[in-house]
């Protein structure tokens, strides 16, 4: 009984950790007149982590609110990669 309870508790904690795991996408965007290019990282909700198209569907309106046009989603990655990649993103290292 005690073992079954501990196993169930462990599974609940493990699944809760997976559900709250974050993912990010790095992207390229542009502005016209004058032409400016941007590399940035955006935090994605869990449903947008499934594919580049799902990430694009989420990111496009978020990025456009700042006057940028999304060119492409480069990749989707987890929290473990965030620190390494955010160095390259400069001031636009995380958009939500």
For 5-39, write each residue's pLDDT tens digit: 333 333 333 334 444 458 999 999 999 999 999 99
On average, the pLDDT of the chain sits at 78
pTM above 0.85, yes or no: no
Torsion angles phi and psi, residue 68, rounded to 5 = -105, 155
- Helix (H) / strand (E) element for 61: namely helix 52-64
pLDDT for 80:
86
Sheet with 69-78, strands from edge to edge, namely 36-44, 23-31, 69-78
Query: Is 94 a residue whose pLDDT tops 70?
Result: no
Query: Is 57 a residue whose pLDDT tops 80?
Result: yes
Residues 6+ apart with CB under 8 A from 8: none
């Amino acid at each position: 009984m005690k073992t079954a309870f501990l196993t169930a508790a462990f599974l609940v904690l493990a699944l809760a950790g997976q559900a709250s795991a974050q993912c990010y996408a790095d992207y390229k965007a542009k502005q016209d007149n004058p032409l400016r290019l941007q590399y940035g990282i955006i935090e994605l909700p869990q449903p947008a982590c499934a594919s580049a198209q799902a990430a694009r569907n989420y990111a496009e309106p978020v990025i456009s609110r700042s006057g940028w046009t999304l060119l492409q989603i480069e990749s989707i990655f987890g929290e473990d990669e965030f620190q390494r990649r955010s160095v390259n993103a400069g001031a636009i290292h995380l958009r939500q």
